[in-house]
Amino acid sequence: MKDSAVLLIDCPDRKGLVARVAGLLYERGANILHADQHQDHELGLFFMRVEWALDGPAEGSAGQADGPTTSPEGFDLEGFKAAFAPMAAELGMRWQLTSGARQPRVALFCSQYLHCMADLLHRWRTGELVCDIPIIVSNHRDVEKLAAFYGIPFAYIEVTAATHNEAAARQLELLESKGVELVVLARYMQILSPALVARYPASIINVHHSFLPAFTGAKPYHAAHARGVKLIGATSHYVTDLLDDGPIIEQDVARISHRDQVEDLVARGRDLERIVLSRAVRWHLDRRILCYGNKTVVFD
């Protein structure tokens, strides 16, 4: 929702965490729209996502008639933040508080395969992906016309063995100048620099044309065909310094048979790539993902 706030929390598990958070929101007059939590019992960790309206509740709305109410001007987000911070410190919470009133700024990267890029841009234009896209970056010019069609600035940054460091510096400078908060690799077939990865922790989403951790590398469909698999898949994940090894966000699979050739696997795999990448981007924009270790919690 545009007029909502989302609080993401992870901390050591203990009794009463849900009551403490919900109680403070109630005291501040929040109209809670969604709440979800998860416990990792093995590690003793607690995760929570709460979303509430920033505008005032409707007159006579359920759960608000006998309790505090939001002011006509709307929910005091800064006041809640100031009240929540001491509680978070007391309970050892890591937390993120964001407002849907502000759209995240997203940069899209790709190389020569345009199916994921075209899908993301269509979903963005139709309002499924709520964000600003200030720049599209590529090491090829194939996507330039597509960027122009959607009215998005395009940056061609050539990447070769000789220019890799220079290209990495230009990419980072460009992203910072555009105020980018999320980078989406829509089949960008280059390894990002450690400096760029460090600048955007858990904020670079990649799609790998394989059901990771199997068949990493540049030609997983060829490897899958050679292995005689009966399922192929695609994986969206956050980028880390280890290639194809970041926290997995989403995966999907399709059944194949001995009759399918490599080109059949590639064609069917492209559909899976579009699906898992768009889901991951949407969930990130909706503030539904928490990372811990090399895993993710994706809230409903």
What's the pLDDT score for residue 1? 56
Q: Are 63 and 22 in contact (CB under 8 A)?
A: no
Beta bridge partners of 109: 137, 185
- Look-up of token digits 């010019």: 141
What's the pLDDT score for residue 56? 58
Beta bridge partners of 182: 106
Domain that holds residue 57: 4-99
Out of 56, 71, 99, pick the residue that ends a domain.
99
What's the pLDDT score for residue 258? 85
Count of domains for the chain: 2
Tokens of 263: 């080109």
What's the pLDDT score for residue 123? 98
Residues 196 and 279 in one domain: yes
Residues 173 and 247 in one domain: yes
Residues 160 and 289 in one domain: yes
Out of 82, 99, 116, pick the residue that ends a domain.
99
Residues 179 and 276 in one domain: yes
Q: Where are the alpha helices (DSSP H) in 28-133?
A: 77-91, 115-125
Beta bridge partners of 105: 132
Residue 142 is among the residues annotated as catalytic for this protein: no
pLDDT digits (tens, 9 = 90+) for 10-52: 999 999 999 999 999 999 999 999 999 999 999 999 999 999 9
Q: What is the CATH number of the domain that holds 17?
A: 3.30.70.260
Q: What is the CATH number of the domain that holds 232?
A: 3.40.50.170
Q: Residue ranges of the chain with pLDDT lower than 50?
A: 57-72
Residues 212 and 143 in one domain: yes
Looking only at the bridges linking them, the beta strands covering 31-40 and 132-138 are unpaired
Residues 176 and 109 in one domain: yes
Q: How buried is 188 (Cβ within 10 angstroms: 0-12 exposed, 13-18 middle, 19+ buried)?
A: buried
Q: Are 159 and 139 in contact (CB under 8 A)?
A: yes
Residues 17 and 77 in one domain: yes
Residues 131 and 90 in one domain: no
Query: Terminal CA-to-CA distance of the chain, rounded, Å?
Result: 15
Q: Which residues contact 11 (CB under 8 A, 6 or more apart)?
A: 17, 45, 46, 88, 91, 92, 93, 94
Residues 82 and 164 in one domain: no
Q: Which of 132, 142, 244, 264 is catalytic?
A: 244
Q: What is the CA radius of gyration of the chain?
A: 22
Residues 86 and 113 in one domain: no
Out of 52, 76, 99, pick the residue that ends a domain.
99
Residues 170 and 284 in one domain: yes
Kindly report the pTM of this predicted structure: 0.88
What's the pLDDT score for residue 212? 63
Residues 34 and 117 in one domain: no
